[in-house]
Amino acid sequence: MSTTLVFGASGQLGQCLAHVARERGTTGLLFLAEAQANILNPEGLATLFAEQRPAYVINCAAYTAVDKAEDEVDLARKINRDGVENLARLCAEHGTTLIQISTDFVFAGGGNQPLTETDETAPLGIYGLTKLEGEQVIPTITEQYFTLRTSWLYSEFAGNFVKTMQKLGRERDELRVIWDQVGTPTYAIDLAGVILGLIESGSTAYGLYHYSNEGLTSWYDFATAIFELSGIAVKTTPIRTAEYPTKATRPPFSVMDKTKIKTQLGVAIPHWRESLKTCVERLAAAE
């Protein structure tokens, strides 16, 4: 049986992959926390690859602290670019397919049309820049890869916007949420299913793809939907980005076009509100 190595297994997407694999009865996945497999340790990685001889590597390891990245440029670049390069080189050496997770933050988001894989990238901050550098180094080393850009990840696992809004909504009388940043929430359970399906299919349609749930929304409307589906009564006030300054600039419009992944890989994508309902129900059942 072929082996799939999952790096960054303790993060949100890594936990979702483990959950979906259990639900499906999928075997052959080895979930590796940073303590077991540091993508910045080439020697340790070489030993791991030699022992496991993986058919696939899923890289969920990343520096994702968007604002802190503005001050920790070197660390963000080491993890988001150099670590990816380390994995890509070993994948090329062992004939392993690399599945890399990237982000909508590679775009400036200044337009109003869904962004395709061939649209110009122009990151507004260090996080997006270093994730883009990670994307760009892969095809210089191996052709055997899938890079999946995604956006606004949430789930029942780890910290995320949905769980934060539920907590704050129950604690406070009023919340102010940004309405002039538009994108698409992505249920990380759905993304995990797509990744595992990609492996199960054995597809060789390598390259760069966009994946998020369908539709679009603002953070304000997303929060409103969370409260509605969760039965939380809290006054929610829309505010502009300028009223909530952050160290890193976010793309104002980062809705991604998913035509390529639907047509070339046959992926069916649920609407964001449908997936949000599922997540809220699962969170309620776990209480």
Work out the mean pLDDT of the chain and round it to a whole number: 96
The percentage of the chain sitting over the pLDDT mark of 70, rounded to a whole number, equals 100
The amino acid sitting at 114 is P
What distance in Å separates the CA atoms of residue 36 and residue 34, rounded to the nearest whole number? Answer: 5
Give me the mean pLDDT over the 165-187 stretch: 97
Of residues 15, 38, 54, 64, the one with CA closest to residue 199: 54
Choice among 63, 127, 187, 209 that is catalytic:
127
| Domain 4-160+186-214+255-270 homologous superfamily, CATH | NAD(P)-binding Rossmann-like Domain (3.40.50.720)
What distance in Å separates the CA atoms of residue 191 and residue 162, rounded to the nearest whole number? Answer: 16
What confidence tens digit (pLDDT) does each residue in 245-268 have?
999 999 999 999 999 999 999 999
Q: Is 127 a catalytic residue?
A: yes
What confidence tens digit (pLDDT) does each residue in 187-241 have?
999 999 999 999 999 999 999 999 999 999 999 999 999 999 999 999 999 999 9
Domain boundaries, the chain: 4-160+186-214+255-270
What confidence tens digit (pLDDT) does each residue in 22-55 have?
999 999 999 987 777 899 999 999 999 999 999 9
Give the CB-side neighbour count of residue 61, counting CA atoms within 13 A. Answer: 30
Of residues 11, 17, 182, the one with CA closest to residue 111: 182
The amino acid sitting at 102 is S
The percentage of the chain sitting over the pLDDT mark of 90, rounded to a whole number, equals 96
